[in-house]
Structure formats: structure tokens, C-alpha cells
Amino acid sequence: MLVSLCLISVVSSLLGQTPTEPRFFSKKLYPALQKAGCNGCHTADGVASATRLHFPTESASVEDIEAFGRRLVSLVDQKNPEQSLLVTKPTNRLEHTGGQRILPGSQEEKLLQLWVMHLAADSTDSSSSISGVTEPEAQPVFMSRLTHSQYNNTVRDLLGDETRPADQFPQEDYVRGFKNQSEVQSIPVLLAEAYSAAAEKLARNAFRTGEWKKIVPCQPTSSVHPACRNQFVSHFGRHAFRRPLTPGESQRYNTLFIREAKRTGKFLSGAQLVVETMLQSPNFLFRMERGPAAKWANFEIASRLSYFLWDSMPDEQLFSSAASGQLGTVAGLEQAARRMLQQPRARQALDEFVSQWLRFDRVLNVVRDRRLFQQFNSGLAVAMTEETRRLIAHLAWNNQNFMEVYTARYGFLSSELAALYGFPAPPEEFGMVRFPASSDRAGLLGQATFLTLTSKPEETSPTERGLFIREHFLCQKVPPPPPGVSASLPPLSESKPMTSRERLQVHLSNESCASCHRLIDPIGFGLEKFDAIGRKREKLALTFFPARGETERRPTKVELDLDTKGRISGIPDSDFSTPAQLGEVLANNAECQKCVVKQVFRYAMGRPETPADGTVIEKGFDDFKGSQFKFQQLIISLVTSKAFRETARYD
């Protein structure tokens, strides 16, 4: 059904564009109309010259074609987009002089349907309503699609649904370490289909016996019951779209409701269809922001705040703060943020940030050679990430020095992790355990999470460990390898066993490789006392297994001395040989401290920082440092900044 197509990133993936700038001129839509032969008749002197559809000339510029695409709004039925002439005529669903030019159900029809929904949405926001009230003039819209985690949390808070449907959606991509970077978000066909199926199921579940009372704020007395219908559409729409509905939207959803309720004779059938439809709207699936001058600017701030601090939609108090104008002031915004930080959802949101920043997915999906790492299993991987999560939560919510995340000489261990680390079992699972003074472990760098995610199935990777520290903890971008360069290392053999340091010397023989590897490999060398699942080792133990069929041969083991001297090029006095020593270097380094600010900014805004954000980053860093690195103070500094208050948009 067409309603499933209004979830599109407004022509994003199918038109080959980002969701922030839908374009008509593309390698798919405009050529599809030309290929169908529409431009043969629909010209100023063609057979269809008397119609409202006139194609640009062959010499038309891109701007002319874009203008033509926007003029097609005259062929769009705003109340019933699925009945628009722009779709029904070329498919011959409505008698067309030119016959069937586009096959119903084809990719070309889907492209047309996507464009119809875009034009309908734009015209609704910019045209006069039925009541004569003029809506704000259409402006460029910054769009940020809900991540799968945000989708799950939103339907939980909107509908009371705990089924986590987005867990079954196509996997999300990480860009700059996060899943919410808006410039690369789109809705591929598979995701669009998943949204459609989820919306249908969620709406159906919401109207099971008695469940509907959670979302219908009145008691219907008939199948249409105007007062209750209007109240439901307004109430649910305000929560689903996270702002009040426009008059045009209210009329459209009321019309949809009435049609279905009359067809079935049931009030709840109309309500269910409205819910299903709204759950597929771009207004639900995206956070749409038009900036501080927009009519719903305070509601945009409310959503920006809630998806940052709660990873979910605003609550009723936040909606009220938006409606009253409280969020339009720095003091009001700070007051709201401090309230939100005290709620349990803030802890869940921090967990989501941490899981992305530190790539828990790579730990939870890691593969290890069971012959070499018999201790490793999925349960241990979960315990690794739980230790990391608890350390950061401890520092953030107890207002500790957050830079202790690199230097903490304690951890939150399960009995499995304690055995892996060679420590006594803790009195309680994931209770705080102080490390022995002789331990080389400290903070994130001594945790199995980091040491595992930066290793290979059979061995450690000094290169990966150094690269992760540069990119995630120092916010430094290391150039990719030159095209055509082999990243393979000399193979290990019984006749010539080598340490990783010795094998990685091959990178230094090629200057195009050496320039980057000198920046990352020496960092990883200093962590070689810990293997590919985070176990402490004094020597490198190599095991050579017999070839397939050599049943009488036993595995051969070789031990090699480890040189664990490391350094961070560009940071003075940064020599180290243990995670604890490296943690001290990073915790006291201004670039590492500022990187925490940058990572939180990127996650909060759904985009990377730009030169124009320099003052925001510096102010955030000064506030963070001035508070003795209290994480909550960093949050307050960022959410009250001009960049956060005005818009997430960037040039």
C-alpha cells in the first residue's frame, strides 16, 4: 500500500540522494519518465500540450529540471496522495490517452510514489490550511533518522510496546564511530519494507483487547464520534510527530480515520489505521528541524534533547516545556536537562553512547580460534562489555573525574572476568574490585573489551590497537592505506617464528606505508603484554598445528620474548610499556580530554564538528576541565550551547 512509502527518506535511497536534500533530477527518476516516453507528448507543442504537465526542453539546466519536478505538485492530491494524477495517469489506473506508460508495482512507479509523498508533505507545511491559517513558509529541513535503538525506545514510550522490533531491521552502518550521523542516513528498500511490516504489527498489537486505552484518550460512543476522533488524532499525532499537527495534517488523518471507520463500522479500526500510517511517516521516522525561526522550534529542541539524553521521544513534561516556551531560554533548557539526567532513561542512553563509541558490536560478534582461546565464549564477551559499561556509568553518575576512565585501578568484574584476569573471584558479580598494586591493568586500555575488539581471531594487532586509540581516544584521523598496497604480514612458521613487532617491520620498508604505521604501530607495541582476549602474558606463545591429515604430529609450541616498549608520536614524554602507563599519558593529555568533548558532540548533534563549531568545542572543553572533568557538566555545557539550541544543521 502507498502508505508504506511515506516513510521514505523523502526520495533518499531510491533517488540516490541523502535524506537532507531530496532531488528530482537524478540518475533514476527523471530518466525513468523520459524512458517511459512521457516527454514525447507532454511538451509545449506535443499531443498533451493542453495538460498541466509540460516537460523541460532537452537543453534544460539542472535547476530548470528541479523546478519542473516541484511544479508537479499541481498533480498531487494532498488529501489522498495515493489517488494523485501523477501516479494514476501514467499507470493507466485512471484512463490515460497515452495508455500505460509505467507498469503498476514497478520500480518506476515506486519512484513516482516517493516523489508524490515528498510533494504532499512539502505542500502541507507551506500551503494555507482549510481554516485559512497560513502555515510557515517551507524551509530547508535537516533530517535525522531514528536509529534502531531510538526506534525501539520510541515505540516503547509511545505505544507501551516492549517487543523491540528494530532488532530485526537491516543492520546499521557506523560512520565516525556512531550510527546516527545524519548525512549518510537513508532508507534502503529493505528498511522501508521493515518499517512497513513493523508499523502494521505495532498498530495491530496496540489495539488488542484493552490495550487501545493507553493511546486513545477518550471513550468512543460510535464508529466516528467526532469529538473523540479529533481528540485522538490530535493527541496521538502530537506524540508520534513530537509536535502539534498542522491543520492540513489533522484534516488528512481525520479523513483517513473516517473512511476506515465507516468501512468497518468500528471506531478502533479507524484509529488503528491512523497509528499504522503515522508510524510510517517521515515525521515519525525522522527528526525534522527547520531551525530557531520555525513555528515548532521549541518542539525540535525537545526532541533533540530527548534523543540525546534519553535515546527516546520527549515525555509529557518536556512537551509542556516546549509549548510554554521554557526550552527557548538557556536557563529553561538547563533546568530540563538536569531533570532528565536524573531519570533512569538517561542511564540507558549513556549505555547506548558507550556501546557505539567503544564498538561493543565488534566484541559481541568477535570470532576466536577455540584451540587457542578456550576461555572465550559469548557469555564472556557480554561480561567484557558489562565491565566497560559499569566503569563509565560509575564515573558519570557519581560525578567522578571522567578521565579516570583511562587510569582506574579497579574494575567491575564477574567471576569469569576475574578468572581471565587472574584475580580472585569477586564477592558479588560485577562488584567493584581493586586491582593489585602489581597489576599492569588500568582503565579502558586494560579491559578485555578494548584488548579483544582490537585483535584478530588468532593474535593481537598492534596496528588495530594503535589506530583505535588515535581515532577514538585522540580524535585523530589516520589516512587509509594507499591503493593496491598489501596489508598482509610475513606468515609465521616453525622455522622462523616472529613477534608482531618483528613482522610489522615490513610496513617500514615502504615509505608510503611507513608514514602512517609509525604513528600507530608503536602504540600497539606497548600493549603486547595482553593477548587477543585480554589475558596477561609475559611471553608470546606461538602454537603450530599439524597440517590436515598429519594425525601423528602434535602441535608445536614456541615462546618468544616480548618487547613492550611503546610511545605515542606527537605527545612528549609518552613512552610506556603497560596499559596503566598509557592510561596516565592519555588522561593528562589535552587532546585526549578534548576528544571526549568531540565524541559527545558528534553523538549529540548527529554530525561531526566543523570549524564553525570551534567555539562550542572550546567552551565545552573549558567547562569540562573546569569541573574537574565531570561528565554531567560536559552534557550541560553542550546542550546549552548556541549550536545545540539553534539547530543541528551545518554547512
Total number of residues shown for the chain: 651
Amino acid symbol at 591: E
| Whether residues 94 and 191 fall in one domain | no
pLDDT attached to residue 78: 79
pLDDT attached to residue 68: 83
In contact, 207 and 273? CB cutoff 8 Å: no
Q: How far is CA 627 from CA 218, 295, 630, 651, in A?
A: 49, 36, 6, 31
In contact, 223 and 266? CB cutoff 8 Å: yes
| Whether residues 34 and 112 fall in one domain | yes
What is the Cα–Cα distance from 179 to 156, expressed in whole angstroms? 20
| Whether residues 368 and 502 fall in one domain | yes
Task: Give the SS3 label for residue 141.
Answer: coil
599 is a domain residue: yes
| Whether residues 94 and 62 fall in one domain | yes
What is the Cα–Cα distance from 147 to 590, expressed in whole angstroms? 31
Q: Whole-prediction pTM value? A: 0.78
Amino acid symbol at 489: L
| Whether residues 603 and 526 fall in one domain | no
Q: What is the pLDDT of residues 321-357, one digit of tens each?
A: 999 999 999 999 999 999 999 999 999 999 999 999 9
| Whether residues 342 and 361 fall in one domain | no
CA nearest neighbour of 197 among 449, 333, 3: 3
pLDDT attached to residue 149: 97
Domain that holds residue 322: 144-347
7 is a domain residue: no
Split into its structural domains, the chain has a count of: 4
Mark the ranges of the chain whose per-residue pLDDT is less than 70.
Answer: 1-27, 40-41, 43-52, 97-99, 122-141, 484-487, 511-512, 549, 551, 647-651
133 is a domain residue: no
pLDDT attached to residue 103: 86
132 is a domain residue: no
CA nearest neighbour of 636 among 306, 337, 352: 337
| Whether residues 150 and 251 fall in one domain | yes
136 is a domain residue: no
| Whether residues 482 and 608 fall in one domain | no
Q: What DSSP designation does 494 have?
A: S
| Whether residues 152 and 251 fall in one domain | yes
- Last residue of one domain, picked from the residues 68, 94, 126: 126
Phi-psi region of 164 (alpha: psi -120 to 50; beta: other; left: phi over 0): left
DSSP 199-244: HHHHHHHHTSTTGGGGT--S---SSS-HHHHHHHHHHHHHHHTTSP
226 is a domain residue: yes
Q: Which three cell numbers stand for residue 430?
A: 560485577
Q: Which three cell numbers stand for residue 559?
A: 615462546
| Whether residues 65 and 177 fall in one domain | no
pLDDT attached to residue 647: 66
Q: How far is CA 554 from CA 234, 372, 444, 550, in A?
A: 74, 14, 38, 9
What stretch of H or E contains 143? Answer: strand 142-145
Report the relative pairing of strands 286-289 and 556-561 from DSSP bridges.
Answer: unpaired
In contact, 108 and 36? CB cutoff 8 Å: yes
In contact, 14 and 114? CB cutoff 8 Å: yes
C-alpha dihedral, 521 to 523 to 528 to 529, nearest 10°? 170
What is the Cα–Cα distance from 392 to 468, expressed in whole angstroms? 18
What stretch of H or E contains 142? Answer: strand 142-145
413 strand-pairing partners: 431
pLDDT attached to residue 331: 96
pLDDT attached to residue 98: 59
Nearest 5°: phi and psi at 432?
-70, 135
Q: Where do we find the cell 509536535?
A: 243
In contact, 394 and 412? CB cutoff 8 Å: yes
17 is a domain residue: no
pLDDT attached to residue 291: 75
Task: Give the SS3 label for residue 173.
Answer: coil
- Last residue of one domain, picked from the residues 347, 377, 402: 347
207 is a domain residue: yes
What is the Cα–Cα distance from 507 to 518, expressed in whole angstroms? 9
- Last residue of one domain, picked from the residues 570, 587, 604: 587
| Whether residues 532 and 632 fall in one domain | no
| Whether residues 481 and 335 fall in one domain | no
Q: Where do we find the cell 495534517?
A: 249
Under 8 Å CB-to-CB from 334, ≥6 apart: which residues? Answer: 636, 639, 640
